[in-house]
Chain A
Amino acid sequence: MAVAAATLFAASAGAAANTNVARHWAFQPVEAVKPPEIKNTAWVKTDIDRFILARLEQHQLQPAPPADRRALIRRATFDLLGLPPTPEEVERFLADVRPDAFDRVVERLLNSPHYGERWGRHWLDVARYADNKGYVFFEEKSFPWAWTYRDYVVRAFNEDKPYNQFVLEQLAADQLDPLGDVRTLTALGFLTVGDHFSNNTHDILDDRIDVVTRGLLGLTVGCARCHDHKFDPVTMEDYYALYGVFRSCTEPMVPPAIEAPVLSETYEGFELELIRREQKLQEFVESKHRAIVQGARTRLAEYLLAAYAQRNQPSTESFMLIADKEDLNPAVIARWRAYLDRVGPAHPVWRPWLEFSTIEEGKAETHFAEQAARVQVAWTTSAPGVNPRVASAFSGAAPRSMKDVADRYAALFKSVNEQWQAALAQTAQPAPAPERLPRPEDEELRQILYGPDAPPEVPLQMDWGFLSLLPDRASQGEFQKILTSLEQWLMHGPAAPARAMVLQDLPVAYQPRVFLRGNPNRPGATVSRRFVQWLDPERRAFTKGSGRLELARAIIDPGDPLAARVFVNRIWMHHFGTGLVTTPSDFGTRSEAPSHPELLDWLAREFVQGGWRVKRLHRLIMSSAVYQQSSMAQAPPSSPSRSSTILTNGGTFIAGASNADLPAVDAENRWLGRFPRLRHDFETQRDALLAVAGQLDAQTGGPPAELSSNRRTIYTFVNRMDVPPVMTTFDFPSPSASCPQRSATTVAPQALFLMNNDSVAKAVAAVLKRAEIAGAAMISVRTERLYALFYGRPPTATDLRHAEDFLGTAPDEKLWTQYVHALLMANEFVFVD
């Protein structure tokens, strides 16, 4: 499919289409790749190793020897669970002489409920997960049920849900057969847990487009909001095709419950009250909306004049405005103004208006009439295209002012509106309601009041966005009261069930148009709701509702070159610290080529053919020699010395290609001639500390906990407005947008936290209270147990000497506390070989 697309696209579309794009590796179909032939066949455990070894051999490098068993179980446990192995687990593995001992470890870890907590958290970075909305006005600021999505993700990994199903559910769970589990609906949180951007609809949709395209496809479609993508084959049409999909969806104020209610009087009371409060909100919003739309039709002269008065003033489209109750609605003025701006000078209804508008104001009234008469002559004689009713309204005496012009238009529309209302009223019940007025000149006018783009047809938003249509303080206050009452009841009413943060399709799908320069008030060409043209050159329009399900199916179509590649690269990245592609959410033409392109394709194909099973992928990777090799650099400690290295322009060291110089030749370890040593991220540092302290609360799932609790970090409240400084300090990513990969900085406040924070001191105290630690009085025994607990190994003679030097002969509790604290601050506790 993609190959055909290349030529088709190049032939049809704009600047981005060129041969570079057509040849770009990521846009080629995933080919069946044969693992390469290599020399050192003895090293190879899986086909993955052939790809790795081929590169190493090409660079005249050799892989490292296998990691020892202690390193291996520690690596695997942190990798899959984000927790340290217990001393017993280490010992059991050391004692297991069976050839598949390590496979058994991997299997045990994959079956642990903590596995989903670890790998689910990786996915939550992509999903820009947070427990609140970001800055919003009068509404509830938290997402009371974001955690149901977090739990869904954890469960999906634990249950080894095939990735294609995972994608389908996250985009369209509401349109799938739930197979008896309504909790599946919580998957839609992927779309809905994003920032609310002060309830700017377009920004919310932009965020959804972004998380879907970068998160699932490695395509940066967001760039095409205002112009075609500069480098990748993504056009504005593509952007607005997807915009149309998400614009055709809504978040219900009362989302579906995911727990079967325990039927009781309390629950019935809850339901009844809920219905009452929901109705109240609905009635309020609908009556306000009706009033706005009615007013927009009946106060037409005023709106026209308001739009006219603003014509040379700066646009107020993106303002939040406050008005009085009886004032014209600023949003409707903005709609009229934008409408009159875009109809064009030859519009059969508006041409007179636009031409009268050019007459200079502020002069004597006679001046206007004189000029108006001249204008009138010009268009009545030379322009037969003017609507006859409009022409006749201006055929007599020339208007004396713009107010006069507006009044004549208003009279015209009033009469047409009456005609229309009469037509509707006369229709006898069984007969279908009329669809138009019979005479074209009437219908043309009616369209301006009722047509799809008609300025009075202000869209009705039942959700929070409705606030933007209520500019007066009194209505805002009323709205806030009614809304809060519903929100509070939903969250805290007696027996209130947890709910899924769903999206639902609107009854009538939205017909997207390109917004010129990204401006919603400048709609351009109509586009259909569809997939990105590059990936579906036939540009097949989605036909079912919003098209979310069709979009999801297109993304996971095995012919799509991106989804599987992007996902296996993410998995690889979390195992090895770096992806085969180093820009995990951008596979576009400006991304770096993969280090091992054939391996990437081979993995992607294996993954799809293996039923998109993530655990299978873990097994495949972890059973390979490249995963199981040592992380130790092969250079002897004494060399290379400063004098033996040569500084080149690029700042890299050049030396002989012997094994001893491996770290110098491949300083970044791009070819994986050793396992990369990895530092714990924030969650793992915190969780490991709690684990060795024996304090880790094993409870899984549920509403978010405090950071000061003993729950695993994934379960603590993620505050989008104010990420706790300790989390930022340890590189927890901003949840303002999808995060492809965390940065890893080393800054003094990290050390300061470990040195002085009370939570660390508490963990240290708890370690010393552990039975096996408290029960060992001798320095050597206690040190041995601490080393087993923290580092998974016995102390060396040097370690013991350090302990004795520090502790003296009869250490008190205080010295022990300082010692244990030191062990927990040491590098060995936060780095994994």
Chain B
Amino acid sequence: MTKIVSPWPSERFLSRRQMLARCGTGFGVLALGSVLDQAGLLTGPARAESAAFPLAPRAPHFTAKARRVVHLFMNGGPSQVDTFDPKPALDRYHGQPLPLNNLRTERKTGAAMRSPFKFQPYGQSGIRVSELFAKTASLHIDDMAIIRSMQAEVPNHEPSLMLMNCGDSRLPRPSMGAWITYGLGSENQNLPGFIVLCPGGYPIVSTQNWRSSFLPGAFQGTYINTQHTEIDQLIANVRNHQLTADEQRRQLDLVRALNEEHARARPQDTALEARIATFELAYRMQSEATDAFDVTRESEQTRDAYGRGTHGRQLLITRRLMERGVRFIQVWSGAGQPWDNHENLEKDHRRLAAEWDQPIAAFLADLKRRGLFEDTLVLWSGEFGRTPVAELPALNGRDHNHYGFSVWLAGGGVRGGTIYGATDEFGFRATENPVHVHDLHATILHLLGFDHERLTYRYAGRDFRLTDVSGHVVKGVVA
């Protein structure tokens, strides 16, 4: 048996009462009020503590532009020298050893391998991007901040996925999405606050990528297999197969009547009232979730713009979820590790990028049109990049590279048209302003209004945080 206890150290977050008392400060308050109003929770005193509603919106440490995150995860590791980090020097050395010792990566590497893709400058900023992301770059480069000096810790998928997602290569720690949902709650109580879209199954290390670990389970990512198009297969238990909506409404009215009778003899028990409210929320969630995932409600024009492939559909769903207040949405390339092109890189990178480029370009344009771009933080990343040298024995693929790789940010609070940091002449290792994954996390939290050193959770005698004991905000990408 469990007593309802607050999952939050009370001194760190505003209680509902405190929030109401400070009404008018920050967006969270109004949203919370409306949520509780919807749920009929504003009718009595001292109701619904935050523990009862782990997803109730909460204010961050300071005012920030971004209030939600979309993480486009190119799992497997996209090559930086073929996308966002042009290295003409590789042309000169193509097929020959580099004039430096190859850094040790997972497998044995050999000669330099030039990029098979053409780069050209885009936008006013004139940032050079490869043809792989031509559509995205031509429309949005001046709103993107490319970090070319990313660094992870090891050249292996599993620990690097853990690091990128959870801030630690090996130990069980909560994911970034869980931390952010813990920090901010969500603005829609009818949907999960943290949603993970991945077509066809799990990526490597599966649900660990979006785990809540020692944070309460409500902050864990909800996985949705976007290969499916039927709502039943997308979200568990979202439909009742026996009852009509009216029948279910009538049934829930009975539940509510029984619960109110039960609560009358047990006054002032917030746990009872919270549970009563969840049935109302769940009832509404059925239609809300169905709507959110139903892309056929979009115009043909919009659907064409996003593209009719899986990623176009994923990003349309993403936008619909964002509009409904979901806090953190992670969108993956696919099951396993699609970008892991140890061989046939030219062919496979071209195919993968073609699946993404138009949807991303259309998605960002759509956000701008709808006024969502300013308060959404978009992150594009893999778990690491790839070597500028070819993996042996052939000359047509690249090994993993954690010494230097590229990611980009766009949207709320991001300084657009920016290149931050640089790798060496060949794109092997970050040499100028290296950015560790902890720094990226600190920056993301900063853009959301958090001091990454203060967003903590007490567990096992220690105040844990996403950035462990490290992390510096990369000011260069902050507007």
Contact = CB atoms under 8 A, between A and B. Distances in A.
Interface of A: 78-79, 135, 195, 197-198, 200, 203, 210, 214, 220, 222-223, 229, 231-232, 309-310, 313-314, 316, 318-324, 327, 330, 574, 576-578, 582-583, 585-586, 588, 590-591, 631-633, 635, 637, 640-642, 645, 647, 651, 653, 663-664, 667, 676-681, 684, 721-723, 725-726, 728-732, 734, 736-737, 740-753, 755-758, 761, 796, 798-799, 802, 806, 817-819, 821-823, 825-828, 830-833
Given A231-B461, A645-B45, A734 B156 contact: no
B279 A728 contact: no
A678 B272 CA distance: 10
A319 B400 CA distance: 12
Given A198-B170, A577-B3, A653-B46, A734 B282 contact: no
Nearest to A734: B213
B217 A79 contact: no
Contact of A679 (B154, B236, B237, B271): B271
B3 A721 contact: no
Contacts of B265: 632, 637
A318 B169 contact: yes
Interface string B8-21: 00000001011001
B263 A827 contact: yes
A322 B156 CA distance: 10
18 contacts: A220-B462, A310-B104, A314-B403, A640-B45, A651-B15, A678-B2, A679-B4, A728-B212, A737-B172, A746-B277, A747-B218, A748-B190, A749-B237, A761-B242, A796-B261, A798-B261, A825-B255, A826-B262
A631 B139 CA distance: 63
Contact of A799 (B55, B107, B261): B261
A755 B272 CA distance: 17
Nearest to B202: A722
Closest 10 CB pairs of A and B: A577-B3, A220-B461, A736-B172, A751-B282, A678-B1, A743-B216, A748-B281, A728-B217, A746-B274, A756-B237
A677 B266 contact: yes
A195 B156 CA distance: 19
Given A684-B1, A722-B206, 10 more contacts: A677-B266, A677-B271, A680-B2, A737-B172, A744-B51, A745-B54, A745-B218, A755-B282, A818-B254, A821-B251
Contact of A755 (B53, B216, B279): B279
Interface in B147-185: 153-156, 158-159, 169-172
Interface centre among A203, A576, A817, A826, by most B CB within 10 Å? A826
B282 A746 contact: no
Contacts of B301: none
A78 B1 contact: yes
B258 A822 contact: yes
B207 interface: yes
B222 interface: yes
B172 A822 contact: no
Contacts of A651: 15, 17-18
A802 B282 contact: no
Contact of A729 (B154, B169, B190, B217): B217
B300 interface: no
Interface in B2-45: 2-5, 7, 15, 17-18, 21, 44-45
Contacts of A741: 5
B40 to A, nearest CB: 14
Nearest to B103: A313
B239 interface: yes
Given A725-B236, A806-B254, A746 B275 contact: yes
Given A577-B3, A651-B15, A802-B258, A321 B170 contact: no
A203 B171 contact: yes
Given A309-B101, A319-B156, A737-B214, A818 B243 contact: yes
Nearest to A136: B158
Contacts of B106: 319-322
Given A578-B5, A680-B1, A748-B190, A830 B266 contact: no
Contact of A747 (B54, B101, B159, B267): B54
A583 B214 CA distance: 14
Interface centre among B169, B212, B252, B261, by most A CB within 10 Å? B261
B347 interface: no
A640 B267 CA distance: 10
A403 B283 CA distance: 75
A819 B21 contact: no
A135 B268 contact: no
Nearest to B107: A322
B276 A827 contact: yes
A822 to B, nearest CB: 5
B211 A752 contact: no
B107 to A, nearest CB: 5
Interface in B228-259: 236-243, 247-248, 250-252, 254-255, 257-259
Contacts of B272: 677, 827, 831
Contact of A590 (B46, B207, B274, B461): B461
Interface of B: 1-5, 7, 15, 17-18, 21, 44-46, 51-55, 101, 103-104, 106-108, 153-156, 158-159, 169-172, 189-190, 192, 202, 205-208, 211-214, 216-218, 220, 222-223, 236-243, 247-248, 250-252, 254-255, 257-259, 261-269, 271-272, 274-279, 281-283, 285-286, 403, 460-462
B206 to A, nearest CB: 6
B2 A828 contact: no
Given A223-B462, A645-B45, A748-B190, A823 B258 contact: yes
Contacts of A314: 103, 403
Contacts of B15: 651
Contacts of B261: 796, 798-799, 802
B214 A647 contact: no
B158 to A, nearest CB: 6
A713 to B, nearest CB: 14
Contacts of A732: 217
Contacts of A737: 172, 213-214, 460
Contact of A751 (B192, B211, B218, B281): B281
B67 to A, nearest CB: 21
A323 B255 CA distance: 64
A747 B108 contact: no
A751 B279 contact: yes
Contacts of B275: 679, 746, 751, 827, 830
Nearest to B461: A220
Contacts of B237: 749, 752-753, 755-757
Contact of B267 (A633, A645, A819): A633
B170 A197 contact: yes
B262 to A, nearest CB: 5
B104 A802 contact: no
Contact of B2 (A637, A663, A742, A755): A742
Contacts of A747: 53-55, 218, 278
Contacts of B266: 631-633, 677, 833
B42 to A, nearest CB: 11
Contacts of A743: 5, 7, 216-217
Contact of A220 (B205, B223, B460): B460
A832 B159 CA distance: 44
A826 B255 contact: yes
Contacts of A574: 1
B267 A802 contact: no
Contacts of B103: 313-314
B216 A745 contact: yes
B276 A195 contact: no
A137 to B, nearest CB: 9
Contacts of B207: 721-723
A78 B2 CA distance: 12
B251 A642 contact: no
A818 B103 CA distance: 66
A210 B257 CA distance: 47
B292 to A, nearest CB: 14
